């Protein structure tokens, strides 16, 4: 703890931030709070780079709060604990995902689905603490202070840099496959082979589904098969949508850019389900795409703390981790550009040592 510089406001912490939706990210300094009785202070080792970071830094969803320190796929080591913390001790390897608090009293929180908190979950970044005025800052920084109940245990055996993306990309794909009841032998189509998509392939494979990747990047065919897919469809080929009509039980759509939902829905057979997790700009939905075969269209948002822990334990048991490309913090702006060109295999992870 001798590196900690404490001011009245808190612990001075190096970070990387975007000052506005139009500016690149650059060095920035933030204050982390000294641990309250139920807090842990985490020295961050790795932080994954999610496409949601780009959406929010560029204010594509509206309402972004600047300066913004993104990052919600955090892996680190506990370096200090508050006086009442019993769950964690110094040296524990832990994770922090997309939220760091919630109202804890609403039916969603009591059900362990804090992501649907009626009082609003406290986002790890681009949000405000429960006081409604202190901005939250994410994992593109050297440390973070988090309430002990919003911290995950990283099971032994998962390489730490490859565990970081599980905190968002992992839970976001695991949760809908479980919730909507994917079963062994089901025909699952994963649309978009990016950070989320490649995790969906791994989970689908571990759950025994027959997996087809639908991708607008024909060059990803071999990767898809190596990741565990059984088949690959290049969606640039318009005929593919005719040839594969009615083929799938379950479609998980992870695409970050605008695309035609109707043509994908038509790939479901009667009573099939398509779950959206990607958040592109709004697209049109035509009612017959659902009506004609009694199809279901659904959405899913990350996952609660309990299910995130379940997913991490599932990964350890099945030898699952993200495929990552490590970057230094000063490569982050270039990494965003490469993600927008689908040039990442399959998740950038920032080595936070490069910020210290
Ligand atoms: P990513 O790594 O950039 O992957 C997105 C994939 O979408 C790309 O690899 C690409 O796959 C496909 N794609 C991109 N542009 C396309 C286009 N013009 N037409 C068709 N396909 C295109 O992003 P990510 O981090 O996985 O995130 C994906 C989306 O999920 C983002 O919108 C993100 O905000 C959202 N998200 C949602 C949640 C949630 O809780 N629901 C959580 C995290 C992220 P191919 O090259 O294979 O086509
Ligand atoms: Zn994310």
In whole angstroms, what is the distance from residue 169 CA to residue 187 CA? 21
The pLDDT score that the predictor gives to residue 8 is 53
**DSSP assignment of 140-174:** SBSEEEEEGGG-EE--TTS-HHHHGGGGTHHHHHH
Q: Is the peptide bond before 67 cis (omega within 30 degrees of 0)?
A: yes
Q: Which of 72, 97, 194, 339 to mutate to test the pocket of ligand 1 (most atoms within 8 A of CB)?
A: 194
Position in ligand 1 atom list of the atom nearest CA 339: 3
d(CA 121, ligand 1 centre) in Å? 23
Kindly give the distance from the C-alpha atom of residue 262 to the centroid of ligand 2, in angstroms, as a whole number: 25
CA nearest ligand 1 atom 38, residue: 277
Counting ligands in written order, the one closest to the CA of 256 is: 1
* pLDDT at residue number 283: 86
| CB-based contact 28:69 (threshold 8 Å) | yes
Q: Residue 313: which of 155, 98, 95 has the closest Cα?
A: 155
Q: Whose CA is nearest to atom 34 of ligand 1?
A: 52
| pTM of the complete model beyond 0.85 | yes
Phi and psi torsions of 239, nearest 5°: -60, -25
pLDDT at res. 9: 63
Ligand 1 first shell, C-beta below 6 A? 50-52, 55, 168-169, 172, 192-197, 215-217, 220, 254-257, 259, 277-280, 300-302, 339, 342
The pLDDT of residue 356: 87
pLDDT of residue 88: 98
**Residue minimizing CA distance to atom 8 of ligand 1:** 194
pLDDT tens digit sequence for 48-90: 999 999 999 999 999 999 999 999 999 999 999 999 999 999 9
CB 281 within 8 A of CB 303: no
Q: Is the pLDDT of residue 1 over 50?
A: no
Give, for ligand 1, the residue of 58, 278, 322 to mutate: max count of ligand atoms closer than 8 Å to Cβ.
278
- The atom of ligand 1 lying closest to the CA of 346 is 2
User: Average pLDDT in the 30-37 region?
Assistant: 97
What confidence score (pLDDT) does residue 57 get? 98
What lies within 8 Å, CB to CB, of 88 at 6+ separation is: 40, 78, 81, 94, 148, 151
* Residues 306, 113: Cα–Cα separation, whole Å: 8
pLDDT in tens, 207-222: 999 999 999 999 999 9
pLDDT band at 3 (very low <50, low <70, confident <90, very high): very low
**Best residue among 47, 51, 343 to mutate for probing ligand 1, ranked by most atoms within 8 Å of CB:** 51
Atom 29, ligand 1: which residue's CA is nearest? 278
Give the pLDDT score at 6: 52
CA 92 to chain centre: 22
Q: Is the pLDDT of residue 124 over 50?
A: yes
Calculate the alpha carbon distances from 64 to 20, 152, 157, 258, 281 in Å.
Answer: 9, 26, 37, 20, 16
Is there a contact between 120 and 128 (Cβ–Cβ < 8 Å)?
A: no
């Amino acid at each position: 703890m001798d590196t900690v510089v404490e001011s009245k406001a808190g612990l001075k912490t190096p970070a990387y931030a975007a000052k506005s939706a139009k500016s690149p990210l650059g060095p920035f300094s933030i204050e982390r709070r000294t641990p309250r009785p139920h807090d842990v202070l985490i020295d961050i080792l790795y932080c994954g780079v999610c496409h949601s970071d780009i959406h929010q830094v560029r204010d594509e969803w509206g309402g972004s709060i600047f300066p913004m320190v993104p990052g919600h796929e955090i892996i680190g080591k506990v370096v200090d604990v508050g006086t009442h913390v019993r769950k964690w001790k110094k040296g524990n390897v832990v994770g922090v995902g997309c939220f760091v608090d919630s109202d804890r009293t609403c039916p969603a929180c009591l059900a362990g689905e804090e992501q649907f908190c009626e009082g609003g979950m406290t986002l790890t970044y681009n949000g405000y603490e429960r006081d409604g005025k202190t901005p939250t800052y994410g994992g593109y920084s050297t440390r973070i202070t988090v309430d002990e109940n919003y911290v995950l245990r990283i099971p032994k055996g998962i390489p730490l840099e490859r565990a970081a993306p599980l905190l968002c990309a992992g839970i976001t794909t695991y949760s809908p496959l479980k919730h909507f009841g994917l079963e062994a032998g089901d025909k699952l189509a994963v649309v978009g082979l990016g950070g989320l998509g490649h995790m969906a392939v791994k989970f689908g494979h571990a759950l025994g589904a027959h997996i087809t990747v639908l991708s607008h990047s024909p060059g990803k065919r071999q990767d898809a098969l190596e990741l565990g897919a059984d088949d690959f469809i290049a969606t640039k080929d318009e005929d593919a949508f005719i040839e594969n009509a009615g083929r799938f039980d379950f479609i998980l759509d992870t695409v970050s850019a605008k695309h035609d939902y109707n043509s994908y829905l038509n790939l479901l057979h009667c009573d099939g389900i398509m779950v959206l997790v990607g958040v592109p700009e709004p697209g049109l939905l035509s009612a017959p795409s659902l009506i004609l075969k009694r199809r279901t269209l659904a959405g899913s948002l990350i996952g609660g703390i309990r299910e995130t822990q379940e997913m991490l334990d599932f990964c350890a048991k099945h030898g699952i981790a993200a495929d990552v490309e490590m970057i230094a913090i000063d490569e982050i702006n270039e990494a965003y550009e490469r993600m927008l060109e689908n040039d990442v295999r399959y998740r950038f992870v920032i080595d936070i040592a490069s910020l210290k």
